[in-house]
A and B are shown apart, each in its own frame.
Chain A
Amino acid sequence: MMVIECIVNDKKYVLEVDPQERLLDVLRNHLGLLGTKEGCGEGECGACTVILDGKTVNSCLVLAGQAHNSVITTIEGVGNRQSPHPVQKAFVEVGAVQCGFCTPGMVLSAKNLLDKNPHPSDEEIGVALSGNLCRCTGYDKILRAVKLAAEEGK
């Protein structure tokens, strides 16, 4: 076992973890943050996307130790029912959610894009979401929702 320290959604944690555990396991099993989903478990689908030190990563490919001393944002830290993030609001407004499994990852990739680049082009939105697969929507409404969130932020 090993001890890691990290800040998750603005809260500091000191955790005893197995070095084999992935960040995904730490978030879901130790912290009970079930918004981060495990889809493929091999870095293809992006359902487990979180923001680690300002960058999106697949938490299924990050070991707990690699997250030591880092700052992490999961979907639970982005917004909630009472005060949703502009990206979440836009997803609801446009109807960009169907089964919802990919949505947390999509929202985090979109949020991270808009944090760095508040007025992205269509192509930049496409690239930013290219690591997140959706098997329901056909992507069109998701891309429109991100565009709407960017426009509302202007």
Chain B
Amino acid sequence: MKYYQPQSVNEAIEIAYSSQGIFLAGGTDLVLQMQKRKIQPKALIDLGRIPELHEIKETKEYIEIGSMATFSEMGKSKLIAEKASSLWLACQTMGSPQIRNQATIGGNLGNCSPAADGLPPLLALGTEAVLISGEGEKQMPLADLLGQTPLLSPGTLIVGFKIPKIHLLSGFAKLGRREALAIARLSVAVALELDGSKVGNVRVALGAVGRRAFLSDSLAHVLSQREFNESWLELGISQIQGVVRAALGDRASAPYKRVAVAGVFREAVASLRRQGGLDK
């Protein structure tokens, strides 16, 4: 196996084309899969030495996060804490300190585990994914990208993510078997516009319910443009239980998750209220 450490995105794309290698982000999933011989790459293209992929910055319209930003870096970013609080919350509980120091948001998408902690917040925040391949760069909604199979064509590199700056309040909660080091059994991210006591557009994303994280259209439809009060919360709970029921069908975990999602949704909304300063 060959090992490359390109210094720029263009160099990485060229190596991917000529070597038929695969990209290595943080490695917390890929190294394990290689150890278990589930993946035996011809070549590895380590993206760790490309400075632009590590950036977290604010532009006029977006919060931009490079694909190689680690969960620790995002979890310590004041910008993400203030402008994308659901993502910030997800970064505090993902894996363990050691995993957070190494795992990246791009790798979270590339590996695309059903339980990937970073994806529900990004979906709820209306994030655009930026991809590059030999055919050029393209930007598309993360929700659309997650609907594609395969997720990425060979040689496509995840450059990063653009979160629109539209002053959303957002929250996140997950259910694991213990507090640290637990893979999410269920996760919920909620983002909404709030004008006084009235909710504008709402987006709710679920993780570990089915093959990939997804945005729920029906929740967005039912919960948008309403008063933000206790009956809104109760409506959300009954609706999200229906979404989980429909998504899981008669899978073994369905009876448990259908009930548990009520608490996870309630907690995600509570975290949104706390992060947004609604509960003092």
Interface residues of A (CB under 8 A from B): 2, 19-20, 22, 41-44, 46, 49, 55-58, 60-63, 65-66, 68, 109, 127-128, 130-133
A19 in contact with B27 (CB, 8 Å): no
**Complex Cα gap A141–B101 (Å):** 26
**Complex Cα gap A128–B101 (Å):** 12
**Complex Cα gap A127–B48 (Å):** 26
By DSSP majority rule, is chain B's interface helix, strand, loop, or mixed?
A: mixed
Contact A63:B181 (CB < 8 A) given known A46-B96, A49-B98, A56-B98:
no
**B13 adjacent to chain A (CB < 8 Å):** no
What residues of A have a CB within 8 angstroms of the CB of B98 in the complex?
A: 43, 46, 49, 56-58, 109, 131
What residues of A have a CB within 8 angstroms of the CB of B5 in the complex?
A: 65, 68
Name the contact of B179 in the complex, choosing from A41, A43, A55, A130 (C-beta under 8 A).
Answer: A130
What residues of B have a CB within 8 angstroms of the CB of A60 in the complex?
A: 31
Contact A56:B101 (CB < 8 A) given known A46-B96, A65-B3, A66-B48:
yes
Name the distance in Å between B147's Cβ and chain A's nearest Cβ: 30
| B interface residues, how many (CB within 8 angstroms) | 25
Task: Please give me the residue from chain B that is nearest to A48 by CB atom.
Answer: B98
**B197 adjacent to chain A (CB < 8 Å):** no
What residues of B have a CB within 8 angstroms of the CB of A65 in the complex?
A: 3, 5, 44, 46
Which residues in chain B, 35-50, are within 8 Å of chain A measured between CB atoms? 35, 44, 46, 48
A19 in contact with B24 (CB, 8 Å): no
B3 in contact with A43 (CB, 8 Å): no
**Complex Cα gap A2–B1 (Å):** 10
Task: Please give me the residue from chain A that is nearest to B4 by CB atom.
Answer: A65
**Complex Cα gap A66–B5 (Å):** 9
Residue contacts A-B, CB under 8 angstroms, 19 given: A19-B2, A19-B44, A41-B35, A42-B35, A44-B181, A46-B96, A56-B97, A56-B101, A58-B28, A58-B99, A61-B99, A62-B27, A63-B31, A65-B44, A66-B46, A109-B98, A127-B97, A128-B97, A131-B95
**B32 adjacent to chain A (CB < 8 Å):** yes
5 closest Cβ pairs, A-B complex: A131-B96, A130-B180, A19-B3, A55-B101, A131-B98
